[in-house]
Amino acid sequence: MLGGEAKMKEYGYVRVSSLDQNEERQMVEMRQLGIAEENIYKDKQSGKDFNRPMYQKLLRKLKKGDVLYIMSIDRLGRNYEEIQSQWRFLTREKEVDVSVIDMPLLDTRRGKDLMGTFLADIVLQVLSFVAQNERENIRKRQAQGIAAAKANGMKFGRPVKKAPPNFLEIVEKWESGIIKSYEAAEMCGMCESTFYHRLREYRATLNSEKKSL
């Protein structure tokens, strides 16, 4: 409206840490709140920093008085300092309201007085600390699990592609020019880089055997 205040808009921000994670739970909550689909911004990447394309696009859209919904505070960052810093940026510099869906106390539209702000700050500090602590505990448990698995002989990564029994015969055909390297690799059932890797291992073994004679 000409000469009047701009109308407040509601936005949602959804983030999952990797491409194989599903953001549907967060999307369901946003839709139930009645947020228009075009106002929901989604990133599928780690929260290690704020150089996320859709989050940056959202920041450019947000105007004073708008409301931003997030599922939980850890959608804003990975650790205590990041979450605190981003919360202050949104609420004080951008002057938008933030509502954390799974923690109703963290809704800047409520308790705009000094006591309300004070209580919200305390809750934010506690929850951001808990989020960081839980993430660190998860990393420790993962590291302990991997160490235990390795100690029990479990192998990680892709299985090693072994050379076939007729590897020497295939190598001789390749060396004599009868077949190309990609053909030799196909006959071995492996990619060219693996073929060359197995070849280097084979030659190293031959050299070692010759030296031992």
pLDDT digits (tens, 9 = 90+) for 164-176: 889 889 988 988 8
Residues with active-site annotation: 17
pLDDT digits (tens, 9 = 90+) for 95-152: 899 998 988 878 888 766 555 555 566 766 666 666 666 666 666 777 766 666 667 7
CB 198 within 8 A of CB 167: yes
The architecture that CATH gives domain 10-131 is 3-Layer(aba) Sandwich (3.40)
Q: Report d(CA 19, CA 84) in Å as an integer.
A: 26
Q: Is the pTM of this model over 0.75?
A: no
Render 182-200 in DSSP notation, one character per residue: HHHHHHHTS-HHHHHHHHH
Which helix (H) or strand (E) element contains residue 211?
Answer: helix 192-212
Output the average pLDDT for the chain. 78
Residue with tokens 């205590």: 80
Closest CA to 13 of 77, 79, 65: 77
Q: Report d(CA 130, CA 84) in Å as an integer.
A: 13
Q: Report d(CA 140, CA 16) in Å as an integer.
A: 21
Q: Phi then psi for 86, rounded to 5 degrees?
A: -70, -35
Question: CATH 3.40.50.1390 region(s) of the chain?
Answer: 10-131
* 64: CB partners within 8 A, 6+ apart: 94, 95, 96
Is 156 or 94 the better-scoring residue by pLDDT? 94
